[in-house]
Amino acid sequence: MKHFAYLLPVCCLLFAACRKDSPAIEIIPAPLCVKAGQGTFDLGGGIRIAPADSLLRPAAGYLVQLFREENVAAAQNAENANLSLALDPRLPQQGYTLKITPARIELRGGSCEGVVSAAASLRQLLWAGKGSLPALEIDDAPRFAYRGMMLDVARTWIGVDGVKRYIDLLSYHSINKLHLHLSDDEGWRIEIRSHPELTEIGGFRGGDSPVRPVYGKWDEKYGGFYTQDEMRGLIRYAAGRNIEIIPEIDLPGHSRNIASVHPEIRCNYPPDTLSTNGYDYRSAWCVAREENYALLTDILGELCALFPSEYIHVGGDEVDMTQWKRCPDCQALMRQRGMADPHQLEDLFMQRMAAILSANGKRPAVWNEAVTTGDLAHDSRVYSWQSVKACLDATAKGYETVVMPGEYFYFDMRQTPHEDGHDWAAVFDAKKVFGFDFTDKGFSPEQMRNVVGLQAAFFSEAYVSHEPEKPDYLDYMCFPRICALARIAWRGNGEGWDAYYKGLVEKHYDRMAAMGIRFRLFPPKVSYKDGAFTVTADDGSEIYYTEGDTPEEHRYTRPVKTGKPHLYRFFTRYKTGR
């Protein structure tokens, strides 16, 4: 991070110098420095990729897949190639240059990561190329090394192909971390070979499963899980696209699923199930039960062996500590250790998790509640979600922090009061995401040194009732909010919303359509006056309306006169957007 902090003022000077003659390419995230060249590169002759050294073979393989819609092939030798890849030690690790001349295309990176970022930018240019590419040179490097997205596959099951599609969409936008939420009260999604019952039973809910259905699909046994071999395939697939998968097993709360499979992990007192039709809703591991740590050693040991990530996320959020207060064993443990606050029990539990991870060569990642007391080891990475205040608290305590306050970055939140989603954190769209500013929120320079990067999250409770067999709801909730996240995590928001929105509408809508994203359009503006509706859309989309309970759609072409305005609903479409 020190290198990135040093790089920022230099990059800002480069940007100021470069943009005067830059072509309007509107890549998302926008490059730091673009210089216009002379002429164009003709795509009609095809793209021939030069042989790459061993370090860049993954990037070369990705390029072939990335450009599968174009006439692309691997060249037999460098002389016959018109696209080359190279490492450049003068560049930052994730920095890159992309140079296009009428004769050839050159991608250079400070590492394979930088080359893949260059490839993602080139892919966006190709979608808008229409037979040729403008000659230009891009010099670019990200603001933050960590640019993440969390996907909850525990509440709503998303299979291997769906996750691969999501990885592709993230890579197109230079998001380089995929935080997979693999367990929660409703599902356990990763095979643990020493305890196959965790997925054989806990991978499903409803039907004959002991896990009760919630949120949707009430009348069927529903779910799924990844085998370890399938997960290794996903890890390789993501790595080839410059994305690290960070797994999460949510502990010690949010564990009703595994507690339904292994009821003995719960605290030692009889639950009140009279009002829940016999179902035990307790969701926390008993801190005092020593056998629990043997089970967790098995689970975390297999995760550490499976995932290359330096970090394993072990949760720490929303623990119902009233269960510990009612547990005679937990209370005895508190007295034995001189504890006055149940948060100290969570500290003890998390320290035990950190020790298991350390024995396996890993470090813990946790939600911000796990550092309430500040006693958790400072080699932990904090994912701060509850509020901006929680982010400020974690950074002030000296923890490496991924900033993701829910009121800006929880993409399961509604985008207007009239749309689907949750609203407990906030109701917001991409404009608010784009507007997040560290200085305005009170982060000091010292606190910024502890900011690892930005991340958003999609928790999937509501997804299960929105045809999860299709990605439509996931796309609608995440795009273009992910585009705004990518922009501010890569370069900030200095150009202002109006300029960003213009590029989003004029260039990136078409790219998202080419990517197959069922993205959200900003709502039309509707006014009713003197007995008539007037409706406009400033993004070039087509306007439609329905009347009453009939599903028939009408194209809006002029003001609609009616004395019953409450019967009308207006909406827009543009290609795959709606």
Q: What is the pLDDT of residue 116?
A: 93
What does the alpha-carbon distance between residue 15 and residue 143 come to, in Å, rounded to a whole number? Answer: 13
Q: What is the pLDDT of residue 8?
A: 46
Convert the pLDDT of each residue in 232-273 to its tens digit. 999 999 999 999 999 999 999 999 999 999 999 999 999 989
Share of the chain above pLDDT 90, in %: 85
75 or 427: which carries more pLDDT confidence?
427
What does the alpha-carbon distance between residue 534 and residue 69 come to, in Å, rounded to a whole number? Answer: 41
Q: What is the pLDDT of residue 18?
A: 58
Please give the model's pTM, rounded to 2 decimal places: 0.94
Mean pLDDT taken over the chain: 93
What is the mean predicted confidence (pLDDT) over 361-380?
96
What does the alpha-carbon distance between residue 92 and residue 113 come to, in Å, rounded to a whole number? Answer: 10
**Res 210 pLDDT > 90:** yes
Q: How many residues does the chain have?
A: 578
Convert the pLDDT of each residue in 406-458 to its tens digit. 999 999 999 999 999 999 999 999 999 999 999 999 999 999 999 999 999 99
**Amino acid sitting at position 106:** E
Q: Determine the 3-state secondary structure of 205 from DSSP.
A: strand
**Res 14 pLDDT > 70:** no
Which of 7-21, 29-43, 367-381 shows the lowest mean pLDDT across its residues? 7-21
**Amino acid sitting at position 234:** L
What does the alpha-carbon distance between residue 260 and residue 442 come to, in Å, rounded to a whole number? Answer: 43
Helices 328-337 and 343-359, interaxial angle, to 10°? 80
Which of 29-33, 74-78, 177-181, 427-431 shows the lowest mean pLDDT across its residues? 74-78
Q: Determine the 3-state secondary structure of 518 from DSSP.
A: coil
